[in-house]
Structure 1
Amino acid sequence: MIKAIISIEIMQSAIVLFFVTINFQVGAQPPIGVGHQTNVSDPLPQALMLTAIVIGVAVTAVSLAMLIAIQHKYGTTDWQELIKKRRELGS
């Protein structure tokens, strides 16, 4: 289960990096300051990715809390052993 949680985090980080880099423009300036700038970067993707990072941290925290609860209840974090124990308890 730890590998699954780590995999989800890696995918989330890859998505954030993808969206931040897809918006990259050479020579773009931040949309802050005085004066009229012609080549300004769009702040929306960065703002959305900050939100995605916060959501990713929350998902990881809930996943780890569920992992701890499963380990306490069933005594394992292995998917196959967990499925066996659930079938034994269910029948």
Structure 2
Amino acid sequence: MELLMASAIGLLTAGGVYLLLQAHTFPMVLGLTLVSYAVNLFIFVMGRLASGAPPLVSGQAASYADPLPQALVLTALVIGFGMTAFVVVLAVRARHAHGSDHVDAGPRHE
């Protein structure tokens, strides 16, 4: 299970970095989203993978899941959604203002 999670995090990060290096705004937004999903998955996995274990300790439980990473990921998902919406609005506005979605399409001051 650890190998599967490490591979998933690695693939999400690699795909996100590849898309972030593109010269157009929409792939950059998708890359930023993939990298944020990879970080969220990493934080969630750090809380220990325990199937069927309670999230809180009641007594002397041998295995339990840590609720803090779950709360951090939930908060990060909400913040990531808001930031993605904001970046999409900025990208649409820049496309409207410059006529292109290329990152370096702005006016040049020489």
**TM-score, normalized by the shorter chain, greater than 0.5:** yes
Going by fraction, where is helix more abundant, 1 or 2?
Answer: 1
Give the aligned partner of residue 20 of structure 1.
44
Structure of greater relative contact order (alpha carbons < 8 Å, 6+ residues apart) = 1
Contact 2:47–2:69 (CA under 8 A) maintained in structure 1 = yes
Which string of whole-angstrom CA distances, capped at 9 and with x for unpartnered residues, describes residues 34-62 of structure 1? x5351221101100110000110011000
The number of residues matched between the two structures is: 84
In 2 relative to 1, CA 37–30 (structure 1 residues): closer, same or farther, beyond 3 Å? farther
Alignment gaps of 5+ in structure 2: 1-24
The partner residue of 1:31 within 45, 53, 56 is 56
Alignment gaps of 5+ in structure 1: none
Partner Cα distance (1:25, 1:67) in 2: 38
* TM-score normalised to structure 1 length: 0.79
Partner Cα distance (2:60, 2:35) in 1: 35
Q: CA RMSD in A?
A: 1.9
Structure with max Cα Rg: 1
